[in-house]
Amino acid sequence: MADKQLPQSTFLGHVGTNRVERIVTDMGFLWNPSKMDAGIDGYIEIRDPLTAVATNCVILVQCKATAVEFRAETSTGFDFYCDPSDLKYWLAGNAPVVLVVCRPSTDEAYWISIKDYFRDPKTKQERKVHFDKTKDRFTKESADALKGIGIPRDSGIYFSPGKKEEVLYSNLLPVTKLPERIYVASTAKFKRSAVFAQFKAKKVNPKSYSGEFLLHRKQFISVHNLKWEPWTTVCDAGTMEAFEFAEWANTDNPDKRRLIVQLLNGCLSEMAWRIGFRYSKRDDCYFYRGNEQLKKRRVKAAALTRDTHKTFFQVYYDKRDPKRVIGCRHTAFRAKFQFYDGTWYLEVTPTYFYTSDGRRRKRNSHQLRQGIKLIEKQKAVFAQVLAISDLLSRRRADLFTQEYAYLGLGPVAQFSIGVGIDDGTWKIAAVEADDEGEAESFLRLNL
């Protein structure tokens, strides 16, 4: 008597269908297998996983499983040929049909929407489906695409937003280092220009002093010890008092808070100068300095995935006279110190600055800046924030360079939140123009 047997093809088909059921269940949808079928292994009913509301919108599924290589398989894709009678059957019905091709031994499954794929008569005649192993992978993340083909657009069905943890990037750099002390002494000077004039008159070496000070009500306030030269030439060192900087920095007194901000701005100006930025009082921004040779300057800076090089100084020449400079674009930023929850931050706002020759401000700099900001999109602005922040927060101390002593900044502050938006479900499905290309065209027309 012959033994009862279960053909391998039947067993393999059952394993493939079980895999589809597992993926559909992970999506939070309903899977209903066919008890008898002529080319449909089951159907999916779309369901809202959060509210448990079933929609009565269904998608028919045909699963094809194999234990060997797919036809014409490569590392990126493979081909599948549909049986003529199967294809005719799938296309004849009134419900959407998806074809799932899987290989259970390697835990792979891929899918396409039959009626969408074979909309072109030529493709229908060839009966060939080409699967992309990345784009067509059938996983839990395919749920939104299934909703797209299974729910009529005019149905009015609403799905609650799914839970998604998201990281928010700010334009705030935490202050990681503050001066240790504040020094206060009496002075007869009323203006900063008078202080620098005094140093010049006394022939003080410019390298022996810097601008981290302010004048307030006949007081000279600085992060430098005012009993040291050359500060004794501009204030009365005998009246000097020293205070812990943190004592002033954490105060609720608005007057002291303003003085702290002024001192920090002085520290920032000095630190920014050391890494290549110059301050423009008229535009209230720090702009990356040009060079005497008027050469393009690209600076290595951090990005989200990998380091990149950003153009911080760009020179533009007249097309009719390639040797004549018509203008220069400088990467720039505005800066504002903020105090939140007991921590100081530097708020960085990226912008641009335009000069005629790398130094002198261009008369229409404001109009050029407005024009490029209308062109640039969110991605370009975010990349600029990261690049500027990377330069400001980068440590530079080595055997030949001393780290700036009075101010330190950390990388851009990030915040994790327990909710988020799936970008693919709401962003405009359009090819964004190249920001840099559009900016170049705008500048050449307007410089």
- Tens digit of pLDDT at every position of the chain (447 positions): 566 655 666 678 788 899 999 999 999 999 999 877 778 999 999 998 888 888 889 999 999 999 899 999 999 999 999 999 999 999 988 889 999 999 999 999 999 999 999 999 889 999 999 999 999 999 999 999 999 898 876 666 656 665 667 788 899 999 999 999 999 999 999 999 999 999 999 999 998 999 999 999 999 999 999 999 999 999 999 999 999 999 999 988 999 999 999 999 999 999 999 999 999 999 999 999 988 888 888 887 776 666 778 899 999 998 889 889 989 999 999 999 999 999 999 999 999 999 998 899 998 888 888 887 777 777 788 889 999 999 999 876 555 557 899 999 999 998 877 666 655 554 543 333 344 554 555 555 566
Quick one: 274 and 338 in the same domain? yes
* Cα–Cα distance, 326 to 319 (Å, whole number): 10
Q: Which domain holds residue 43?
A: 9-150
Q: Would residue 120 count as lying in a domain?
A: yes
Whole-number Å distance between alpha carbons of 422 and 143:
12
Q: What are phi and psi of 313, to 5 degrees?
A: -145, 120
Say if residue 132 is in the same domain as residue 209.
Answer: no
**Residue with token string 């490029």:** 372
Is the separation of the CB atoms in 376 and 435 below 8 Å?
yes
Q: Using CB atoms within 10 A of its CB, is residue 381 exposed (0-12), middle (13-18) or buried (19+)?
A: middle
d(CA 110, CA 101): 5
Residue 48 falls within a domain, yes or no? yes
177 close to 352: Cβ distance less than 8 angstroms: no
Q: How far apart are CA 285 and CA 396, in angstroms?
A: 23
- Domain-embedded: residue 160: no
Please indicate, yes or no, whether residues 137 and 75 belong to a single structural domain of this protein: yes
Residue 353's Cβ-count burial label (10 Å; 0-12, 13-18, 19+) is buried
Helix ranges, 44-180 (H): 84-92, 114-117, 121-126, 143-150
Q: Residue 361 in contact with residue 395, Cβ under 8 Å? A: no
User: Is 257 found in the same domain as 404?
Assistant: yes
Q: Which residues 6+ apart lie within 8 Å of 205 measured at CB?
A: none
Regarding whether 275 and 384 lie in a shared domain, the answer is yes
pTM for the whole thing? 0.64
